[in-house]
Each structure stands twice: as C-alpha cells, then as structure tokens.
C-alpha cells in the first residue's frame, strides 16, 4: 500500500483491497481503542451475516426418588441473525506530506483509522448513534436499558462511589441478570483514581501488564473487567455495567480502500476540491456486525448534576 500511495501523488486514482491477513492490524487497532469490543463476544461473520442461537430459558433439574419419574425440562433457544454493515472513514492530508514520507504516513494512518472505527462502533453499540443495526422494533443498543444509577447518590460515609456501583449490581441481580464488566468514559477516570471501597482499598485496579492503546485504560471494578476510553459518555451517562455475554460483534473479510487526488470531499461542512488544494484523500471501508439481544441485562451510570460525584474517601 505504501508504494501505491506514493504513486498516487503523481498519477491519480487507484482502488484496492486489503485481505484479512493484511487488514487484521487495522481491526486490532480498533479493538484496542474500543471499550465495547473487548467486553463482548467476537464471532465470525459471512458476507450475508450469520444466525446465532441465543438462550431464552434454561433447563432445570429436580431431585427424584429411586425409580421415580424423572422431570422433563426444556431449554429454550432462538436464532438471531447478525448482519454486517459497512463502516467507512476518509483521511485527508496534503500531497507534500505523503510525498515526503509515504511509509510514515501509512504507519500513522493505521491507528487513526482504527480509533475512528472504534469510536463509531462504540457509539452505535452503546447509544444507537447513526446505527444501521437499530430499528423501532429492535433498539439493539445498550443505553436502551431502563436501569439507571446516578453516581454521587450515596453519601461519602455510606461508601460513596463503591455503593453507587454496587447499586447497579443490585438492580441487575434482582432482575436475575449478571454483571460481567464495565465500560466508562475517560471523563470518569479521575473519579475512579481517587475512589476507595468501604475498607479503604482503591476501587479501580488498573492492569499495567495488559497491552492497550493509550486511548483505553483496562482494569477491574468490583472484581470485573473494566475499560475506560473515549466516546462512551453522552448527555449525563458516563458508563455502563452489565452482562456483556448478551452482546456479540464481528467483522467480514478485509478492508477496501481507494485514494484520490481529484475528487471533491466535504471538509468541515464545505465541499473541497482535492486537486485545487493539492490534497490526498484515502477512503477506508470495512464491514462490522453487532447484536445486543438483551438490553435489560445492562445498567446506565449517570453523572450527578453539576458533575459532582462526591468525595469517596
């Protein structure tokens, strides 16, 4: 791809396709910059999607006497289709930058595209923002849950932030749901850095041995995996907890791309001629799939009015 970008500065347009093996680093960058993907189950998608079984009811067992009739039970399952949808981004840079160091530009482009994919994916998965997976009949995003806890509700002497997080756990288990992990926005990180539990231990335990992108901090809250990154907050909501086994995601094939110095693109809301401004645009496209088949398995954590979550010490 480096030689092709170098050539395009002087020759014009081209198009291409990165097969899965070469495209994987881009998907890896998106995974490292996402807070949703590490928590959710990844599946293999085909071009036409895939039908996956989801459990609706679980089988039960009962004690019986010797020679007694054995109880009959049934575990309910349903097939749900996960369909891939296209996600795209256009990177625009001056032709002089590409010409001077095409290899360095491609190296820098990969994490930028990965982060752009990750943020767009997370916002669709969490809030249904510009999501092709959401409909009126099927909200298919985490924030559709009606379970909500406001951080700062508990007084400092009553456990502070620890009690607030535990209140979310309580909402879930009382509804026969599980808590497998947390996703919080970066704006909540300073709050967790000073928060302690009821015995004075740090509430958020980071994972320095886990290799992640600088945009994501991995750790544990209430003994569960927790990821803190950009793009999670919207309005008053700053994070989520819940059963992430109720969500799945996947990608199809590789990444398609094309580069142009002649097209007209929208930059800051205005149509801009690449040729007139000596610019190079690289358009990257990939297909992702997403499914949240139990929105009631999640709880939203909202920021207290005024952004004050209280002193947790």
pLDDT score, position 254: 76
pLDDT of 298 higher than 90: yes
Length of the chain: 313
Report pLDDT digits (tens) over 52-75.
666 666 677 878 877 777 777 666
pLDDT by residue (tens digit) across 171-204?
999 999 999 999 999 999 988 888 888 888 888 8
Cα separation values, 68 from 32, 60, 62, 63, 148, Å = 55, 17, 11, 10, 47
Q: What average pLDDT does this structure show over 16-32?
A: 71
**Structure pTM?**
0.79
Which residue blocks in the chain are alpha helix, DSSP H? 2-11, 20-33, 95-100, 102-127, 160-174, 189-193, 274-277
pLDDT at 14: 41
148 — phi, psi (to 5°)?
A: -140, 140
- Across the range 293-302, mean pLDDT stands at 95
Percentage of the chain lying above the pLDDT 90 cut: 32
Between 219 and 15, the higher pLDDT residue: 219
What's the confidence (pLDDT) of residue 41? 92
| Best CATH choice for the domain 142-245+295-307 from the list 2.60.40.10, 3.30.300.30, 3.40.50.300, 3.30.2320.10 | 3.30.2320.10
Q: What is the pLDDT of residue 258?
A: 80
Over residues 270-296, the mean pLDDT reads 88
Q: What is the mean pLDDT of the chain?
A: 81
Specify the higher pLDDT residue, 9 or 167. Answer: 167
Mean pLDDT value of segment 218-230: 92
- The beta strand positions in 156-223, using DSSP E, are 181-185, 204-206, 216-221
The proportion of the chain whose per-residue pLDDT surpasses 70, expressed as a percent, equals 78
């Amino acid at each position: 791809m480096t030689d092709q970008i170098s050539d395009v500065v002087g020759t014009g347009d081209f198009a291409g396709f990165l097969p899965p093996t070469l495209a994987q680093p881009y998907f890896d960058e998106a995974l490292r910059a996402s807070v949703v993907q590490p928590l959710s189950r990844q599946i293999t998608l085909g071009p036409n999607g895939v039908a996956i079984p989801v459990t609706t009811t679980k089988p039960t067992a009962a004690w019986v006497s010797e020679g007694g009739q054995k109880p009959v039970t049934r575990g309910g399952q349903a097939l749900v289709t996960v369909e891939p949808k296209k996600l795209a981004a256009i990177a625009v840079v001056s032709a002089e930058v590409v010409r001077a160091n095409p290899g360095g530009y491609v190296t820098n482009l990969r994490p930028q595209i990965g982060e752009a994919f990750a943020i767009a994916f997370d916002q669709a998965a969490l809030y249904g923002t510009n999501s092709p997976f959401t409909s009126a009949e099927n909200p298919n995003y985490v924030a559709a849950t009606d379970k909500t806890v406001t951080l700062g509700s508990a007084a400092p002497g009553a456990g502070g932030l620890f009690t607030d997080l535990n209140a979310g756990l309580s909402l879930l288990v009382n509804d026969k749901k599980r808590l497998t992990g947390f996703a919080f926005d970066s704006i909540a990180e300073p709050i967790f850095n000073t928060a302690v539990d009821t015995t004075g231990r740090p509430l958020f335990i980071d994972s320095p041995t886990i290799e992640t992108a600088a945009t994501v901090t991995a750790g544990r809250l209430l003994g569960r995996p927790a990821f803190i990154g950009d793009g999670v907050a919207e309005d008053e909501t700053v994070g989520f907890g819940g059963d992430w086994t109720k969500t799945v995601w996947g990608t199809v094939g590789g990444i398609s791309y094309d580069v142009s110095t002649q097209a007209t693109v929208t930059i800051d809301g205005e149509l801009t001629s690449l040729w007139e401004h000596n610019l190079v645009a690289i358009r990257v496209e990939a297909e992702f799939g997403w499914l949240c088949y139990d929105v009631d398995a999640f709880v939203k954590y909202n920021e207290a009015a005024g952004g004050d979550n209280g002193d947790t010490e």
